[in-house]
Amino acid sequence: MTLRARWQALSPREQRSVSVLGALFGLVLFWSIAIAPAVNTLRDSDLRRARLGEQQAHMLALQAQAKALQTRTPLSRDEALRTLQSLTPNTQMQLNVQGDRVTVQLKAVPASTLANWVAQARSQAQALPLEAHLTRNNTTATAPAITPPVVTWDGSMVLHLPTRGTAP
């Protein structure tokens, strides 16, 4: 039996039901192929736009920071070393100067302290990190359920001091 013969063998009520089901299937297919992706894109666009705005603001801040670093006057090696020594807490970090390189020995330095120190060493002393050999330590407080573990670092870092403008 061909499809046309089967169609004609159906009663008018069954033909209407099959036609309605076919139309519904067509609408669902059209929705899922043409409309739903556009609606999902429109729904996600505000979130994506906000995320792109944040990324743009971050990139502009990095651009401003790079321009500021390019326009600053370079320190001499001695000035950079003095600045680095003034930034370094003696109990947790020990400096060992070897020419234009400084090796910093770290002992139980909290992560936030280390991050701030490296940022200040780069911006104020113009010292660039070359190497880092660090070991992470987790120390728990007396009430570990209340206080999260404190992350500290042991090891060494090698920094490069600026060489421009070195005094004789």
57-70 pLDDT tens trace: 999 999 998 898 78
Contact, 84 vs 128, CB < 8 A?
A: no
Residue 141 pLDDT: 54
Instruction: Tell whether the model's pLDDT for residue 15 goes beyond 70.
Output: yes
2-13 pLDDT tens trace: 888 888 888 999
Residue 150 pLDDT: 82
Domain definitions of the chain by residue range: 3-70, 77-160
Tell me if the domain spanning 77-160 has CATH number 2.50.20.
no
Mean pLDDT of 120-148: 80
Residue 167 pLDDT: 42
Cα 49 to Cα 43: distance, rounded to the nearest angstrom: 11
Question: How much is the CA Rg of the chain, to the nearest whole Å?
Answer: 33
Residue 140 pLDDT: 57
95-101 contacts, C-beta under 8 A, 24 or more apart: 100/160, 100/161, 100/163, 101/130, 101/158, 101/159, 101/160, 101/161
Cα 93 to Cα 10: distance, rounded to the nearest angstrom: 90
Calculate the alpha carbon distances from 135 to 9, 59, 64, 67, 147 in Å. 81, 31, 33, 34, 22
Pairing of strands 150-160, 93-98: unpaired
Six-digit token string for 25: 């299937």
Instruction: Tell whether the model's pLDDT for residue 29 goes beyond 90.
Output: yes
Is this structure's pTM higher than 0.85? no
**Banded model confidence at residue 164, pLDDT cuts 50, 70, 90:** low
**Banded model confidence at residue 145, pLDDT cuts 50, 70, 90:** low
43-59 pLDDT tens trace: 999 999 999 999 999 99
